[in-house]
């Protein structure tokens, strides 16, 4: 993992802070802070606002002492809008002219705008979960003693979205009670229902039951509990501070409710490097607490004229520890032979960046997404009276006229992410001792690379819950930070690296994505890797220079090797296919991968496409698209 390098305290021209004059004129003054302490878009805002304007910011602090943080904040006449104690952050409103003084404090780590967030937007069979739902457990000696149903029982999934319609039949348990065990609003609208309609649909994909239409639209973990954390308002938008407040709450309460998975079918432009972005930093803290965080990749994979676009993965999907999920198209069939990545799904590499003292951008260029999952024309629960369906009645799936059982279509990586979230819940039910890194590795190792799609489009491939569950059940439950590198990972012989779904058999990809490369070897499945330990991420297993990368043999066993090229897949393993781009182009802090045309197969985007103060084009609206999708929310 690339670490932050220390930079001298020099003036960055793009980050000059405006100071106030009585007549409202602006002038710039040099700041004594290091240039990486302030987001570039915040610096740009400084030149477009009057000096007396107040601004909403997210401030990250080095200190963990709340009293020290509050003293710093008080000295710059700021108003605290969100406490965020568990994250060592504050959401503040303060005069624009005070930003310079705040940034100069040694305990201030990074300052960025409170950016706008918006929703990004037969699963049981096509994902393989139906084939693996019921498993027999055999005791030593060969006697079959029990049968287990893997449906997410006992595990809670926190859904950070536009709310959940808790009265919908899809969320009832076998006794008719709601499995939405807690609801909390972070939008200041003082309601937790789903006026917009996005969150209910997302939640049902992760954990909808089989009580509607004879189980035709069952979610991935239909008996998991749901935690409804409403961060998007009635129009489907919100602020970064809403999401941070919800993640802060998760950190403080995850043990009480056994929250093992967080779903983020939302995003904002990835501008700041994951080293600075407050959403990414919060996701890393939540992951370090033992919780899998799943993030939607985004839906900006093509231009208005249909051309491919690369480099549009959104925050927090650009965070290495997150399971970032793009959208696949199953074309309405259970078989996987015709599946492909949708044209709109956002492609990597990530183009968030830092800026050095010379004003040069250094892009993260991470391989993302990690996986893809079905996301096109997905049928899910429709919240009663929701805005999406009211404004677009063509989205009605015509399953039921009963408002408590109504279903609707939506498309996008928003629909793909909760498939991975539900899968993670099922894996935790099967083996509660798994770490987030192990869950992520298992989901990638067992995925199916889709032929014709390249690594920047699909990561390790399409999710395969059947294979993931079969592998997860074999992982030792007594692993610990003291487990030796190379120790046996499994309790029994390794599983066959193939899965059959609807009569079709496919091979597992047998690899994992780790920042600027991918790793391959059966040892990833059979021998313990230090990257699977608590507080580790998969990228910790790779040592990098500006021109080369190699396995870190203190973290990975010597049988693990790194792929040299992103490939256009032949449908075999993660490394199989035609070379698409040499992965050395991702190194050197992004200096070797310029903006512009990429290998004749699309456009590489530098800074992202933004309108106004960080609101994505098309956010908070339903885009009617052509081709392989009808409607697309993030």
CA distances from 24 to 51, 198, 371 (A): 6, 42, 50
**Does 330 qualify as catalytic in the annotation?**
no
Catalytic residue among 39, 340, 414, 521: 414
Alpha helices, DSSP H only, in 173-290?
A: 198-207, 240-257, 278-288
Structure tokens at 478: 């007594």
With residues binned 3-state (H G I as helix, E B as strand, rest as coil), the percentages for the chain, rounded to 5, are 25, 25, 50
436-445 vs 413-430: helix crossing angle, rounded to 10:
110
Alpha helices, DSSP H only, in 377-478?
A: 387-391, 413-430, 436-445, 455-458, 465-472
465-472 vs 413-430: helix crossing angle, rounded to 10:
20
Q: Quote the Cα angle for 445-447-453, to 5°.
A: 120
* Torsion of the alpha carbons at 215, 221, 224 and 226, rounded to the nearest 10: -90
Contacts of 5 (CB under 8 A, 6+ apart): none
**Phi and psi for 595 in degrees, rounded to 5?**
-70, 160
Collapse the DSSP code of 256 into the 3-class scheme (helix H, G, I; strand E, B; otherwise coil) and give the result.
helix
Distance, in Å, from the CA atom of 108 to the CA atom of 88, rounded to the nearest integer, reads: 10
**Does 414 qualify as catalytic in the annotation?**
yes
Q: Quote the Cα angle for 452-582-570, to 5°.
A: 20
Distance, in Å, from the CA atom of 215 to the CA atom of 59, rounded to the nearest integer, reads: 46
**Does 5 qualify as catalytic in the annotation?**
no
Structure tokens at 237: 């938008």
Sign of CA dihedral 572, 578, 584, 590: negative
Catalytic residue among 198, 201, 314, 516: 198
Catalytic residue among 41, 161, 272, 276: 161
Strands 323-329 and 292-296, bridge-based pairing: parallel
Question: Are the C-beta atoms of residues 450 and 570 closer than 8 Å to each other?
Answer: no
Distance, in Å, from the CA atom of 471 to the CA atom of 355, rounded to the nearest integer, reads: 42
Strands 542-544 and 577-582, bridge-based pairing: unpaired
Give the position of tokens 């004594």. Answer: 32
**Phi and psi for 132 in degrees, rounded to 5?**
-115, 0
| Backbone Cα Rg of the chain | 23
Distance, in Å, from the CA atom of 301 to the CA atom of 134, rounded to the nearest integer, reads: 37
Closest CA relative to residue 17, chosen from 69, 55, 66: 55
- Residues forming the active site: 161, 198, 414
């Amino acid at each position: 993992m690339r670490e932050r390098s220390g930079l001298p305290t020099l003036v960055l021209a793009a980050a000059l802070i405006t100071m106030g004059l009585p007549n409202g004129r602006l002038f710039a003054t040099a700041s004594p802070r290091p240039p990486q302490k302030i987001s570039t878009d915040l610096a740009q805002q400084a030149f477009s606002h009057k000096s007396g304007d107040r601004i909403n910011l997210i401030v990250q602090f080095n200190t963990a002492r709340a009293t020290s943080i509050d003293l710093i904040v008080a000295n710059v006449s700021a108003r605290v809008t969100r406490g965020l104690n568990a994250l060592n952050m504050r959401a503040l409103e303060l005069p624009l002219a005070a930003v310079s003084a705040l940034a100069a404090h040694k305990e201030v780590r990074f300052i960025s705008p409170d950016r706008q967030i918006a929703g990004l937007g037969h699963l049981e069979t096509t994902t393989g979960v139906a084939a693996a739902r019921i498993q027999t457990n055999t005791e030593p000696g060969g006697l079959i003693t029990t049968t287990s149903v893997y449906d997410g029982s006992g595990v809670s999934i926190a859904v950070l979205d536009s709310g959940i319609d808790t009265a919908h039949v899809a969320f009832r348990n076998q006794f008719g009670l709601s499995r939405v065990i807690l609801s909390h609003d972070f939008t200041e609208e003082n309601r937790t229902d789903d006026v917009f309609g996005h969150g209910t649909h997302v939640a049902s994909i992760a954990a909808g039951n089989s009580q509607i239409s004879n189980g035709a639209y069952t979610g991935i973990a239909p008996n998991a509990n749901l935690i409804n954390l409403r961060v998007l308002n009635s129009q489907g938008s919100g602020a970064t501070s809403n999401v941070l407040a919800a993640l802060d709450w998760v950190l403080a309460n995850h043990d009480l409710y056994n929250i093992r998975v967080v779903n983020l079918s939302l995003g904002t432009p990835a501008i700041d490097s994951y080293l600075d972005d407050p959403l990414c930093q919060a996701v890393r803290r939540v992951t370090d607490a033992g919780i899998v965080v799943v993030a939607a990749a985004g839906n900006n994979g093509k231009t208005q004229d249909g051309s491919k676009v690369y480099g549009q993965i959104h925050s927090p999907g650009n965070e290495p520890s997150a399971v970032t999920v793009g959208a696949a198209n199953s074309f309405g069939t259970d078989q996987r032979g015709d599946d492909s990545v949708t044209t709109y799904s956002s492609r990597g590499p990530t183009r968030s960046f830092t800026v050095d003292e010379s004003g040069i951008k250094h892009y993260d260029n991470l391989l993302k997404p990690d996986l893809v999952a079905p996301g096109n024309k997905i049928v899910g629960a429709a919240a009663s009276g929701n805005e999406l369906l009211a404004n677009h009645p063509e989205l009605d799936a015509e399953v039921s006229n009963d408002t408590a059982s109504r279903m609707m279509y939506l498309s996008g990586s928003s629909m793909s992410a909760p498939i991975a979230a539900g899968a993670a819940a099922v894996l935790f039910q099967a083996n509660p001792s798994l770490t987030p890194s192990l869950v992520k590795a298992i989901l990638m190792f067992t995925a199916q690379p889709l032929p014709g799609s390249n690594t920047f489009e699909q990561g390790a491939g399409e999710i395969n819950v059947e294979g993931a569950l079969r592998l997860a059940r074999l992982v030792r439950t007594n692993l610990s930070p003291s487990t030796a590198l190379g120790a046996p990972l499994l309790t029994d012989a390794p599983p066959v690296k193939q899965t059959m779904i609807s009569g079709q058999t496919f091979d597992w990809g047998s690899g994992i994505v780790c920042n600027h490369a991918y790793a391959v070897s059966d040892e990833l499945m059979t021998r313990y890797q230090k990257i699977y330990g608590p507080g580790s991420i998969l990228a910790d297993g790779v040592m990098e220079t500006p021109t080369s990368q190699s396995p870190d043999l203190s973290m990975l066993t010597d049988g693990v090797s790194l792929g040299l090229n992103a490939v256009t897949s032949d449908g075999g393993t993660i490394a199989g296919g035609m070379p698409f781009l040499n992965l050395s182009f991702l190194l050197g802090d992004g200096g070797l991968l310029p903006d512009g045309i990429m290998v004749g197969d699309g456009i590489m985007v530098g800074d992202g496409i933004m309108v106004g103060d960080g609101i994505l084009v098309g956010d908070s609206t339903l885009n009617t698209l052509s081709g392989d999708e009808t409607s697309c929310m993030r």
